[in-house]
Amino acid sequence: MKKMILGFLCILTFYSCNKVTNEPSKAEQNVLESDMEITTQQGIITKESAKSFDDTYTTLVEVIKNNPNLKIIAELNHQANAASVGLELNPTRIIMFGNPNLGTPLMKNAQTTGLDLPQKIMVWQDDQNVVKISYNDPQYLQQRHGIKGTQEVLSKISAALDKITSVASGL
């Protein structure tokens, strides 16, 4: 009986000291965290506008409305939303729009791309009253979602976003 108890204790000690776990070690956790770290402005393209905030946003809306391939999905006014709860925010508006002929192939390739579609362009004014236009870099979305084999579509989207924002900003 003593041998059986000692054997059981040895086995128990072995398993408690060498337990199998799915949790990463501290070193592995540090590597995982650094791999997931997003640096400031990573994947975001920002341009300064030569126009006022209102003119930049109005031009942006008109450019999108006048393109038969694009459809406006929503417009968000973050400044007005902040004001509705008594908070102040510099002018900040987002327009969401899409082209299913270009977005659908990306989502078929990597469905998580739907988290970043439809496209969004933000017009905002910083604390120095400089008006800027920002949007997600399609090449970053390719990396983020592991999109493969759709370089032609991503190039079309990149060119379209560059053109739309250049016209809106007056550059």
Q: Number of H helices and number of E strands within the chain?
A: 7, 5
The model carries a pTM of 0.76
Please report which residue ranges of 21-115 form alpha helices under DSSP H. Answer: 26-36, 53-65, 78-83, 100-109
Domain boundaries, the chain: 41-169
pLDDT digits (tens, 9 = 90+) for 107-160: 999 999 999 999 999 999 999 999 999 999 998 999 999 999 989 999 999 999
Q: What is the CATH number of domain 41-169?
A: 3.30.310.70
pLDDT of residue 22: 53
